[in-house]
Amino acid sequence: MRIDILTVVPELLESPLSHSIVGRAIKKGIVEIHVHNLRKYGLGPRANVDDYSYGGDAGMVMMVEPVDRMIAELKSERDYDEVIYMSPDGELLDQGISNELSLKENLIILCGHYKGIDHRIREHLITREISVGDYVVSGGEIPAALLADSIVRLIPGALTDETSALSDSFQDGLLSPPVYTRPAEYKGWKVPDVLLSGNPKLIRAWQDEQALERTKALRPKLLEGNN
């Protein structure tokens, strides 16, 4: 898989994409992630990528030309499955979207900044808009890193134990059950006896029950989608 991220602040993406699971996946050659500075196609002597908005609203708006030219350059080199814009009013990111995107070959992710992007970009260049929540942050870089992480960890070989992702929260529409490790007792706080029983059938039944109970208590709306 290849992911190309377009941004005016590439420095914000350096650390999140260089360490942990994503960083190891890049080193293994499982995924390529390329961060592109939109100022490459900025206009004028100062390589401007933004301008005042028509209508007089406060805040600067990212211009269409630098974005269009960079996307055109990338598309001239390969085909892309999606051109994604990280937007507060896009479809809300969930595990299903991450699963779907992890099966793609080439993705472009555009990070908005300032007041947003010229709407013509959304109308003519973007194929999908994704939000990480009903709130606003300073730019799309952190949401883009979050989306990339959620995708990359699902690619075969990214995790040391590939079955680990299958038991994550939301994969089956439920929250994951509690997990424990050694010691079996600490300050009188004990690991549930069933997990020490060595009986896989009993353990699985307990985990299923716990996943359902935690979902009912913490995220009951998830169960509405399973009905």
Asked whether the predicted pLDDT for residue 193 surpasses 70, the reply is yes
Any domain includes 162: no
Most confident of 15-19, 55-59, 80-84, 177-181: 80-84
The arithmetic mean of pLDDT across residues 116-133, rounded, is 97
pLDDT on residue 117: 95
Is residue 178 within 8 Å of 210, Cβ to Cβ? yes
Any domain includes 157: no
193 and 136 both lie in a single domain: no
Of 120, 152, 184, which closes a domain?
Answer: 152
Q: Report angle CA 70, 96, 92 to the nearest 5 degrees.
A: 65
Structure tokens at 128: 């999908």
Is residue 139 within 8 Å of 109, Cβ to Cβ? no
Residues written for the chain: 227
131 and 178 both lie in a single domain: no
**Tens-place pLDDT, residues 127-183:** 999 999 999 899 999 999 999 999 999 999 998 665 555 555 556 789 989 999 999
Residue with tokens 């390529």: 32
What's the rounded Cα separation, in Å, for the pair 10 and 96?
A: 28
pLDDT on residue 15: 92
Handedness of CA 42, 43, 47, 50 (dihedral sign): negative
Any domain includes 159: no
What's the rounded Cα separation, in Å, for the pair 58 and 35?
A: 29
pLDDT on residue 163: 53
First-to-last alpha carbon distance for the chain, in angstroms, is 34
Asked whether the predicted pLDDT for residue 35 surpasses 70, the reply is yes
36 and 148 both lie in a single domain: yes
Backbone angles phi, psi at 163, to 5 degrees: -75, -15
Asked whether the predicted pLDDT for residue 62 surpasses 80, the reply is yes
pLDDT on residue 74: 98
Structurally, the chain folds into a number of domains equal to: 2
105 and 198 both lie in a single domain: no
CATH (domain of 45) = 3.40.1280.10
146 and 174 both lie in a single domain: no
Look over the chain and give the mean of its residue pLDDT values, rounded to a whole number: 93
pLDDT on residue 164: 54
Note down the domain range covering 138.
2-152
Any domain includes 215: yes
185 and 217 both lie in a single domain: yes
Handedness of CA 177, 157, 27, 67 (dihedral sign): negative
- Our measurement of the distance from residue 125's CA atom to the centroid of its chain's CA atoms, rounded to an integer in Å, reads 20
Residue with tokens 């650390």: 15
| Residue 115 binned pLDDT confidence (cut-offs 50, 70, 90) | confident
Any domain includes 100: yes
CATH (domain of 209) = 1.10.1270.20
- Our measurement of the distance from residue 16's CA atom to the centroid of its chain's CA atoms, rounded to an integer in Å, reads 11
The arithmetic mean of pLDDT across residues 111-120, rounded, is 93
**Tens-place pLDDT, residues 69-106:** 999 999 999 999 999 999 999 999 999 999 999 999 99
76 and 35 both lie in a single domain: yes
The arithmetic mean of pLDDT across residues 17-27, rounded, is 95
